[in-house]
Every structure is written in structure tokens, then in C-alpha cells.
Amino acid sequence: MTYQPRAGAAVHVRAPGKLNLALSVGRRRPDGYHPLATVFQALSVYEELTAEPADDLTITVSGAQADLVPTDGTNLAVRAARLLAERVGIPSGVHLHVHKGVPVAGGMAGGSADAAAALIACDALWDTGIPRGELVELAAELGSDVPFALVGHTAVGRGRGDLLTPALTRGEYHWALGLRTAGLSTPEVYATFDEILGGASDEPTVDRALMAALASGDAVAVGRALTNDLQVAALELAPDLAETLSVAQDAGALGVLVSGSGPTVAALGRSRHHALALAAAMTASGATDSVLCASGPVPGARLTTETSDRDRLATGPTRGDRS
């Protein structure tokens, strides 16, 4: 069956960045990948994507560090739109515009959020009717973090991080994020991890203490249970991150760690106000290039109110309402 794009205005989607509250990395497999056991949490730091009908598949980028984002066929959002178009058999004409809010190469999966947003936006724009489960399967073809960017909230990831199980959580968590202008290469961080540690297991597991703390909403216990096997490798490549970690700890963070492959440092506060105080301490110390405050968990990629309300009036419930 051949699908035709739906006529109308642009579609707008918001997708969150993520933190790895725990990241356990196993030994490198023959296929080059590492088995993972991780706990994702989606944060209120967002990528905003707009999709409009067009003759060709193009993308533009604005916002923080926009000049660092590729605008050719290697861009994950472009790849997502092309993959969806191929799956449903339509011409891949669409113009995508991304306004960045998630740090580039910061260990918070901004590119994966763009890919998830593009899948949701093009699905709505082209009215493909693809079930949500198939969108998640497409997301996994694009990258290990893309399925979580679709799902959001808090989830346990296994395999390459793409096999997700929702996590039982209570409460809201408030974070101060210390950012660096210079990112870290994820492949380089993993290569350094292999040189230093090599992984302790072929089947890594998630700490039960963290899962129990999340289920009870005990922020103090969550802070104590934060872990990241890649942190040693990130510190090897960017030793100045140690100062950022130390400043946040000295300022009373409940827990602090490097997010994912880094270099973003995430410090857990007791409250929103305390997270602001942690951010102020990191800024005053000069240990970071910039700071953000965010809370979680939040939903995954979603049509924004502007799009959802318009489409609901015109055509009834949209896929964003069903997701």
C-alpha cells in the first residue's frame, strides 16, 4: 500500500534528553558492541523538531551548539525520516527543523531525541498508521538510545540499551547539569573503557538498591546508588571533570556522576531550589562551561499542544494522543 502525505501545516514534536542513573557495561562482544544494563531517566531538557511537507528531505538546526550538528545524510533525524519513508513506501520529502536544547556530544542523547522526534513527526505528517510498537522497532535500528527517547519516563535498558522495561518510580527528581563546550566521542570513551577495565561480566545487571530507591521515591537512596562504569574512561579523557564532580559533592549533592559517555556531570538535589544552588556552586567554581537545571522523569517524544489541538479539531484523535 502506498501512503500519501497529509496536507496541512507543520507538525511540532518535543523530545527529551536523558540521564543514565546507572550504567553497567559488560565485556566487548565479537560484534563490537558491549552488553549494557542501564537505568534511563528522561529529563526536562528538550529538542524541538518541526516537520513540514517538502519535495526533498532536508534539515536545518538552530539553538545551542547548532554549528556542531551535521545537516547531511548522517544526521539521525534525517536517517529516521528516510527509514520511515522507506518502510511505508512514500517519497521521503520533508523539511525538518531542529531547535536544540540538549547538549551536543554530552552523554544525554540529543541526537537520539532528534531521531525519535522525527519518527513521531513524520508519522503524523504522513498519516502512516504504523503501530507504536513498529515505531519502537524502527527506533532500535537507528541507535541504542532512540527507543528510550520515544518511551521516556524511567526505564531499564538491556542488550545495547534498546531492550526496555518500564521502571516503577515515585516522585520527581531535580538535577543540576554541569556542561562542557567540548564533547566526548562515545566510541573513544568505550575504547578507553576497554583499555582500562574491559568489563567485568558478559551479562551486567542493574543494582537492586537503585530500583528499590526509585520505587519508594527515596531521593537520598537514589543519590547513593548512582553508578556509571564509563565514568573512569570519561575522566581519563577529560581529567578536569573530577573538579566538577568534587564541587557538586562539596555543595551537598545527594549524588553526582558523569552522564553516559560524558562529559555532562549530573548532580542530584534535594529539591528544585537545591538543584539551583548546586548549579550556582558549579558556576561560581568555574568548573563547568555552563549549567542547566532539569527535573525528571518526563514523557518521551510527543506532539506538542499546538499540533495536537489543531489536528484534534480537524481530524479527531492523532497518533500523539494514542502514544
Active site residues: 18, 145
272 contacts: CB under 8 Å, gap ≥ 6: 174, 293, 295
**Following DSSP, what letter does each residue of 231-295 receive, concatenated?**
HHHHHHH-TTHHHHHHHHHHTT-SEEEE-TTSS-EEEEESSHHHHHHHHHHHHHHT-SSEEEEEE
Residue 51's DSSP bridge partners are 11, 96
Exposed e or buried b per residue across 44-54, where buried means at least 16 C-beta atoms within 10 angstroms of its C-beta: bbbbbbbbbbe
Which grid cell sits at 252? Answer: 551537598
Whether the Cβ atoms of residue 175 and residue 266 lie closer than 8 Å to each other? yes
